[in-house]
Amino acid sequence: MIASILSALPSLPWDEILLAGRALFLVFSFLIAGIAFTRWRRAAECDTEHTAQQTERVLERLAVLEKALAATDARIAAQSQQLEIQLNASQSGSAAGYSYQIAARLARAGASREELMSGCGLTQQEADLVARLHGIPRRMLRSHPAAA
């Protein structure tokens, strides 16, 4: 059998053999290129899917962070309002403290409860308390009638 193939070789033209070899090589090369392209395309699809999944995870985390930021912003706004209220209260408290200082001076000078209420904006109970704490003691008024 091999002898029959070898005896047939000299009768075939070498140009046709080389042409057939080139054709087979081109077909083989196209098959290899097709397989490589198919694998490359599958790898690109996997990479695209992986990237899409990562992007989805990042967007989910971003949404969670946005919610946390909104909650933090609300807490900061509430604390800011509380601080403003406390600041306003302390400012009005300092004005009230100044009013009490004036009332104490008036009480030391012998002002009556009505004068303390009208002059310093105190309530009746506050005026009584200031008069008792800072006013001239009644004992001294009884013992020194000139002081009255």
Instruction: Enumerate the domain spans of the chain.
Output: 28-147
Range with lowest mean pLDDT among 32-46, 60-74, 129-143: 129-143
Global pTM? 0.41
Beta-carbon count within 10 A of 132 CB:
11
- List, as own/partner pairs, every contact residues 89-93 make where C-beta atoms lie below 8 angstroms and the sequence separation is at least 24, other chains included: none
Q: In the prediction, which pLDDT does 37 show? A: 97
CA-CA distance, 2 to 8, in Å (whole number)?
A: 10
Beta-carbon count within 10 A of 119 CB:
14
Which of the residue ranges 6-10, 47-51, 104-108, 135-139 has the most confident prediction, judged by mean pLDDT?
47-51
* pLDDT band for position 148 (cuts 50, 70, 90): very low
